[in-house]
Amino acid sequence: MHALAFDVGGTKIAAGLCDDEDRIIHRWRIPTPHDPADIDAAIAGIYREAKGLCESGGTVGASGGTADSADRSGIGSIGISACGNVTSDRRTMSFAPNIAAWHDYPLADTVEAAIGHECPVMVENDANCAGWGEYVHGAGRGSAYMVLLTVGTGLGGAIIADGKLYRGAFGMAGELGHVAMVPDGDFCGCGLRGCAERYISGNALERFARSAVRRYPDRAGRLMELCGGNVDHLRGAMIAQAVKEGDSLAQYAFDKIGEWLGRVMAQASAVLDPELYVIGGGVVEVGDVLLGPARRNFDRFLEAGAHRPHARIVAAEAGQDAGLIGAANLSRQVTAG
């Protein structure tokens, strides 16, 4: 049976039709409509296209299917990976920072209505979907106690415990981006101060790099060149470019977010004690430039570090597809349960 997965962010909706082994066999990508009813309608539109693909057999080749697989080729479930807080029944968006109208919005209900109740819909937080995707088909395979951290615009987190997605009592667990790292620290958009994502994210990378440029103008030649002479235009990709060239200020910026990444993992281990951390998100593309300082500082700050095994820290494997893959897989579980 196929599963249809959506990844709904503030600016775009990605979708993937997945075969029964969670391989993405067809993809869509559209801008996120402003109105929630239009989001529902857009999802329903893609659903009808996907259904047509399944019925026409257009999906068989892609999944290397046979007559047997064709029999199983209908869409059995829809999984929506959503940027925001999801209620514990996985049906309602309680709050989404980038989609204001998703405030106590019954997304599973409205989408099910929009598709004529042809198949069940499950909604899950996007970081949770990505974490589950890495666990079932990525770097986390076989690690029953695993934590995903996605270092993107912000910092997302997901927890796998005893081989299951850990959601907490109210579906809000794993918000590692808002663990307080520094009392009275950097002002966070959530209204608190010192949250982890202020120190570990693409935004943080830019802030650390801009700070370095202002402090050490004599050493900032390459970064200033890359940003066209205006430090406010300095972006993560430029810093990643410079660090590959050996630029010391770019290295400083990665060292700092790596240091804080190590610190937040040490905090997480005091609570969760996982065997594995999987680091995802665009920033991890630099590999050991980030993971090196992250590992060193994890060791440095891990409580009782001399008297316990240390969790491994690896880069994610499923990349940007992790959310779709995880949403597809989870949607199957839910409808089976």
Q: Are 254 and 236 in contact (CB under 8 A)?
A: no
Query: Alpha carbon of 88 to those of 93, 166, 333: distances in Å?
Result: 10, 11, 15
Query: Alpha carbon of 206 to those of 3, 111, 213: distances in Å?
Result: 38, 38, 10
Q: Closest approach of Cβ 133 to its own copies, in Å?
A: 20
Asked if residue 275 binds its own copies (CB under 8 A), the reply is yes
Angle between helices 322-336 and 126-137 (to 10 degrees): 90
Give me the 286-325 binding string for its own copies, x by CB under 8 A, dash otherwise: ---------------x-xxxxxxx-x--------------
Strands 93-95, 121-125: parallel, antiparallel or unpaired by DSSP?
unpaired
Asked if residue 337 binds its own copies (CB under 8 A), the reply is no
Phi, psi at 92, each rounded to 5°: -130, 140
Q: Are 108 and 92 in contact (CB under 8 A)?
A: yes
Q: Closest approach of Cβ 312 to its own copies, in Å?
A: 10
How many residues touch its own copies under the rule CB under 8 A: the total is 72
Structure tokens belonging to residue 319: 């990349």
Virtual torsion, Cα 300, 143, 172, 156, nearest 10 deg = 60
Virtual torsion, Cα 302, 259, 240, 316, nearest 10 deg = 20
Q: Closest approach of Cβ 276 to its own copies, in Å?
A: 8
Determine the Cα angle at 233 with ends 228 and 237, to 5°.
90
225-254 residues in contact with its own copies (CB under 8 A) are: none
Q: Closest approach of Cβ 130 to its own copies, in Å?
A: 17
Among 41, 62, 190, 224, binds its own copies (CB under 8 A): 190
Q: Closest approach of Cβ 332 to its own copies, in Å?
A: 20
When the beta carbons of 66 and 230 are compared against its own copies, the nearer one is: 230
Virtual torsion, Cα 59, 60, 64, 67, nearest 10 deg = 160
Q: Closest approach of Cβ 267 to its own copies, in Å?
A: 6
Q: Which helix (H) or strand (E) holds 263?
A: helix 248-272
When the beta carbons of 250 and 325 are compared against its own copies, the nearer one is: 250
Which 3 state secondary structure label does DSSP give 68? helix
Residues shown for the chain = 337
Asked if residue 212 binds its own copies (CB under 8 A), the reply is yes
Dist CA 29 CA 52 (whole Å): 17
33-52 residues in contact with its own copies (CB under 8 A) are: none
When the beta carbons of 28 and 166 are compared against its own copies, the nearer one is: 166
Determine the Cα angle at 138 with ends 136 and 142, to 5°.
55
Among 31, 61, 142, 191, binds its own copies (CB under 8 A): 191
Instruction: Work out whether the CA dihedral 77, 81, 87, 92 comes out positive or negative.
Output: negative
Q: Closest approach of Cβ 284 to its own copies, in Å?
A: 21
Asked if residue 199 binds its own copies (CB under 8 A), the reply is yes
Stretch that binds its own copies, among 20-28, 31-39, 191-199, 326-334 (CB under 8 A): 191-199
Among 144, 222, 292, 333, binds its own copies (CB under 8 A): 144
Give me the 146-175 binding string for its own copies, x by CB under 8 A, dash otherwise: -----------x-x-xx-x-xxxxxxxxxx
Q: Closest approach of Cβ 63 to its own copies, in Å?
A: 34
When the beta carbons of 282 and 305 are compared against its own copies, the nearer one is: 305
Q: Closest approach of Cβ 165 to its own copies, in Å?
A: 11
When the beta carbons of 66 and 307 are compared against its own copies, the nearer one is: 307
Q: Nearest Cα to 234, choosing from 257, 259, 211?
A: 211
Asked if residue 23 binds its own copies (CB under 8 A), the reply is no
